[in-house]
Amino acid sequence: MAKVKKQPRPKAITPKGFRDYFGEEVSQRSEMLRAIAGVYHHYGFEALESSAVETVEALGKFLPDVDRPNEGVFAWQEYDESGNGDWMALRYDLTAPLARVYAQHRNDLPNPYRRYAMGPVWRNEKPGPGRYRQFYQCDADTVGTASMAADAEICAMLSDTLETVGIPRGDYLVRVNNRKVLNGVLEAMGLEAGDVKRDDVLRTIDKFDKVGEAGVRELLTKGRLDASGAFIDGVGLSDNQAAPVLAFLTSKGVDAAKTLANLREAVGSSTIGAEGVGELEQIGDLLAAGGYGADRIDIDPSVVRGLGYYTGPVYEAELTFEILDEKGRKRQFGSVSGGGRYDDLVKRFTGQEVPATGVSIGVDRLLAALREKGRITATPTGPVVVTVMDRDRMADYQLMVAELRNAGIRAEVYLGNPKNFGNQLKYADKRNSPVAVIEGGEEKDRGVVQIKDLILGAKIAENATHEEWKERPSQFEVARGDLVAKVRQILAGQG
Amino acid sequence: MAKVKKQPRPKAITPKGFRDYFGEEVSQRSEMLRAIAGVYHHYGFEALESSAVETVEALGKFLPDVDRPNEGVFAWQEYDESGNGDWMALRYDLTAPLARVYAQHRNDLPNPYRRYAMGPVWRNEKPGPGRYRQFYQCDADTVGTASMAADAEICAMLSDTLETVGIPRGDYLVRVNNRKVLNGVLEAMGLEAGDVKRDDVLRTIDKFDKVGEAGVRELLTKGRLDASGAFIDGVGLSDNQAAPVLAFLTSKGVDAAKTLANLREAVGSSTIGAEGVGELEQIGDLLAAGGYGADRIDIDPSVVRGLGYYTGPVYEAELTFEILDEKGRKRQFGSVSGGGRYDDLVKRFTGQEVPATGVSIGVDRLLAALREKGRITATPTGPVVVTVMDRDRMADYQLMVAELRNAGIRAEVYLGNPKNFGNQLKYADKRNSPVAVIEGGEEKDRGVVQIKDLILGAKIAENATHEEWKERPSQFEVARGDLVAKVRQILAGQG
């Protein structure tokens, strides 16, 4: 007879590339999002929360095909008896949904429309160390205006936001560049719109951060040996032809006026180039009028990230302090936010060009930076734990907890099996409790409670020979009526 | 020659059953979630944010089949060249992920583990009016303890939470029942575990809210004509057999002692029944000790929702004030939260029974209730709008905005085409702006600005004949240096 096969137990694991966030990781992110939302709101931006799910049609970009419907996004087909249900997908950023929302509701929205959005997005990509398939974005965009005042405003807001969440002035820099200036440079080089070499040049410029000026020069001309020894073909420009691109990338001067003059030279007689330099000048003037100096926001043509994607100004916020990488080497913390102007946001839906500009903050990187700098404490204080010495007197312990909570003190009663008192103290330890409260039958009879200062206790244990600690008691007996006052005193650090 | 067919434009719509949330809808929900998280945290609960995506295996319940893989959930197969990729799905609640997280991380978590979680969940169900396929849940659970103190604590926390978000005492009631008591009643009726009639009785009891005592009596016995004229078959019990169930449902007495006495009678000699009554008594005693009277939390055997699902205590929070329904009839607002004890949370994963108890708050219903009661204002105040009279002086206007913002006043400059001044005032109106600031060239020369009180202006427009309004100016000319002070004065309601 065949044995009835037992159903195997499901594995308790997250899907590949996903993770869980616990305790303070969650609270700290919430607090940061709240602080950022506060700045955005103060600037007149309105919250928008679109659904996590969009039609694949509306998301665009990643159209499903039968063989591999979920390239880049997580997508599925809506059930429908005919088998012709719509394809739906999880959003991969907050910009594509903004385009859909704006096209759908444009008659009801104020114009221009300033909106912010924050929440998880999903990418169907191969996960790697520290690279997850669900992560937070935090965006602010202004839709419906071509005014450089919108771009300047977003740069100012980004600067204010970084200072608000705890990055002091001097530890960050918002750098601004402009795609039109680059287009002007390409025009000045004789590479007109449509020339395939333009894309080659753009792709090469993207590597400027990595390979530097000399590397880009090689890649634009005859090619280059990379670090692994492989030869990378060059674009095939002559040294003369490559010169304007390099002039553009290195045109940062001692001040904005000098930088703008260098750029004007680089774009030569190109109209679009002159327009781009003019835009940078406008942004600079508006920011100067608002009191934002080059120590906070600077025009810097070496910003290349996003130049391929955006159509006008491009901005990036970098943290400039140094951290130690996983190999113990010093390096700059780097970019925590980027954005720019893109003018084809809703054209897909309506046929109409609508100018827009916006920024996205990498919340998790920003949190990592604050933790790195010690601006967020890693192990915060847990609740006061009221231990259970006599399980029949649970009501007594609940009353203590209620008193502590009513006094504004985070507190809980031990809810596990109270038999082993050691387990209760281990539990308090795992909870990072600052204080444990103990009331056995004998204490109850005498109208007192024992209060253990666990933070001090831990310090004493660590420095057992240290005279200062040895002399201080870490456990106190107080009258039951003084419970709240004594706990409050310990929490205030006054033993 | 065939014409090149133009790609049709994508439709700018949300998928069926999804929606967008704008402005204050988003901020108000964030504020409520923050307030609730504050209470949960104060009670010693820790935040948990699991990913939105789980393996279908870990979610359980809804296993995919080839024909219709996404019954109840939104599910898709991970791409894998062999075609054997894992099935993944969006979470349909916050309890199934808690089970997975607890099973996965149990050795690192404190035990018992108090956790709260808030976020969207997704249901692949037919959408209806007001029923969306993505909505928020806000849960708190204690895992790893069978103590009734955990259940009492959650009831107390639920009561505190409702008061914290703005439901005053008297406008809500947390009601507690117990599944074990019902099991005792069924045992007393001679329906042992495994008897198919038990399920019939459970299903019938579920209708108590809708059909009342007489309806349940008919359904338990000979059957019943429903409102549409259709005949619903009865369970086929005799009147005598049905009596204990009805006694249970209607056993609420003048006070907890009387209710408990009634329940003890209803369960007769059943051991499990006596255990259930004992649990209710413990919860009542603990809550009384904590100062939670029957005006906040009450033992009430008529709570039937969830009795089929939970294994011990069951609780529900109802708002007791009346609202007008869509047809203008008065009715109680009803349930905003429910929960109870379930002891098989992680058994699927580990084989081990782990007792747990928890509650879920319907955040959107609670928000609706607060709006209904006028505790949340529907149209809050927008930003101060600085209008643009002279587009070449954008820097001047930006400076005004910067001054206002630095003074803590929400403000923005008009970023649209400034040509038509009427459009700027219409924009300010759409933004619910309290104040518009105007500085033309002539004002600039004289060193003054015009400040329009838009709230007062709207009142004057509404009550044009009202003497009080007619005499008050709604536009002021002030020195440029007094801009911030005057705006602040208007915002404070002092004209």
ipTM of the shown complex: 0.90
**Residue A405: its pLDDT value, please?**
94
Task: Give dist(CA A112, CA A346) in Å, integer.
Answer: 14
Q: Which residues of chain B form CATH 3.40.50.800?
A: 384-491
| Token output for A348 | 């897909």
How far is CA B424 from each of CA A460, B166, B460, rounded to the nearest angstrom?
Answer: 67, 37, 20
How far is CA B131 from each of CA A396, B135, B229, B366, rounded to the nearest angstrom?
Answer: 45, 9, 28, 15
CB contact under 8 A, A53 and B20: no
- Give the one of A9, A34, A349 whose C-beta lies nearest to B34's C-beta: A34
Confidence of residue B68 (pLDDT cuts 50, 70, 90): very low
Q: What is the mean pLDDT of residues B447-468?
A: 79
Length of chain B: 495
**Residue B189: its pLDDT value, please?**
85
CATH for A169-317 is: 3.30.930.10
Contact A421, B52 (CB under 8 A): no
Assess whether the previous peptide bond of A112 is cis (omega < 30° from 0): yes
DSSP, collapsed to helix, strand or coil, labels residue A452 as strand
The amino acid at residue B471 is E
CB contact under 8 A, B289 and A427: no
Task: Give dist(CA B47, CA B186) in Å, integer.
Answer: 39
Instruction: Enumerate residues 6+ apart whose C-beta is below 8 A from B426.
Output: none
Edge-first strand listing for the sheet containing A75-77: A53-55, A87-90, A75-77
Neighbour tally for B126: CB within 10 Å? 9
CB contact under 8 A, B10 and A416: no
**Residue B264: its pLDDT value, please?**
95
Pairing of strands B297-299, B172-178: parallel
B52/A128: higher pLDDT? B52
Confidence of residue B34 (pLDDT cuts 50, 70, 90): very high
CB contact under 8 A, B44 and A110: no
Residues of chain B contacting A15 with CB distance shorter than 8 Å: 51, 53-55, 78, 86, 88
**Residue B309: its pLDDT value, please?**
83
Residue with the two structure tokens 């204490």: A443
DSSP, collapsed to helix, strand or coil, labels residue A30 as helix
Q: In sequence order, what E strands does B345-487 have? A: 356-361, 384-386, 411-413, 435-438, 448-453, 475-479
Residues of chain B contacting A47 with CB distance shorter than 8 Å: 21-27, 30
Length of chain A: 495
**Residue B416: its pLDDT value, please?**
93
Contact A357, A340 (CB under 8 A): yes
Please tell me if residue A26 touches chain B, with a CB cutoff of 8 Å.
yes
What stretches in chain A show pLDDT beneath 70? Answer: 1-7, 61-71, 377-380, 463-472, 494-495
How far is CA A137 from each of CA A32, A53, A359, rounded to the nearest angstrom?
Answer: 12, 16, 10
pLDDT beyond 50 at B72: yes
Confidence of residue B67 (pLDDT cuts 50, 70, 90): very low
Instruction: Enumerate residues 6+ apart whose C-beta is below 8 A from B336.
Output: B162, B172, B317, B318, B319, B361, B362, B365, B366, B369
Residue B137 annotated in ligand binding: yes
Residues of chain A contacting B432 with CB distance shorter than 8 Å: none
Q: Of A203, A414, A182, A495, whose CA–CA distance to A311 is shortest?
A: A182
Most confident of B192-196, B277-281, B425-429: B277-281
Q: Of B22, B154, B465, B128, whose CA–CA distance to A117 is shortest?
A: B22
Contact B358, B142 (CB under 8 A): yes
Residue B255 annotated in ligand binding: no
Q: In angstroms, what separates the C-alpha of B42 from chain A's closest C-alpha?
A: 4
For chain B, what is the mean pLDDT? 89
Task: Give dist(CA B22, CA A104) in Å, integer.
Answer: 13
Residues of chain A contacting B142 with CB distance shorter than 8 Å: 415
Task: Give dist(CA A105, CA B7) in Å, integer.
Answer: 23
- Give the one of B25, B52, B351 whose C-beta lies nearest to A52's C-beta: B52
Task: Give dist(CA A143, CA A349) in Å, integer.
Answer: 15
Pairing of strands A75-77, A113-122: unpaired
Q: Which residues of chain A form CATH 3.30.930.10?
A: 169-317
Residue window 424-453, chain A: list those with CB within 8 Å of chain B.
427, 430-431
Please tell me if residue A15 touches chain B, with a CB cutoff of 8 Å.
yes
Confidence of residue B13 (pLDDT cuts 50, 70, 90): very high
**Residue A481: its pLDDT value, please?**
96
| CATH architecture of residue range(s) B161-333 | 2-Layer Sandwich (3.30)
Mutating which of A135, A147, A431 best tests the B interface, going by the most B Cβ atoms within 10 A?
A: A147
CB contact under 8 A, B101 and A20: yes
DSSP class of residue B389?
Answer: S
Q: Which residues of chain B form CATH 3.30.930.10?
A: 161-333
**Residue A242: its pLDDT value, please?**
87
Please tell me if residue A53 touches chain B, with a CB cutoff of 8 Å.
yes
Neighbour tally for A150: CB within 10 Å? 26
pLDDT in tens, B122-153: 998 888 887 899 999 999 999 999 999 999 99
pLDDT beyond 90 at B195: no
Confidence of residue B239 (pLDDT cuts 50, 70, 90): confident
Q: Of A391, A401, A390, A481, whose CA–CA distance to B287 is shortest?
A: A401
b (16+ CB within 10 A) / e for B202-213: bebbebbeebee
Q: Does domain A384-491 have CATH number 3.20.20.140?
A: no
Please tell me if residue B128 touches chain A, with a CB cutoff of 8 Å.
no
Residues of chain A contacting B79 with CB distance shorter than 8 Å: 68, 70-71, 124
| Token output for A457 | 């206790």
Residues of chain A contacting B383 with CB distance shorter than 8 Å: 44
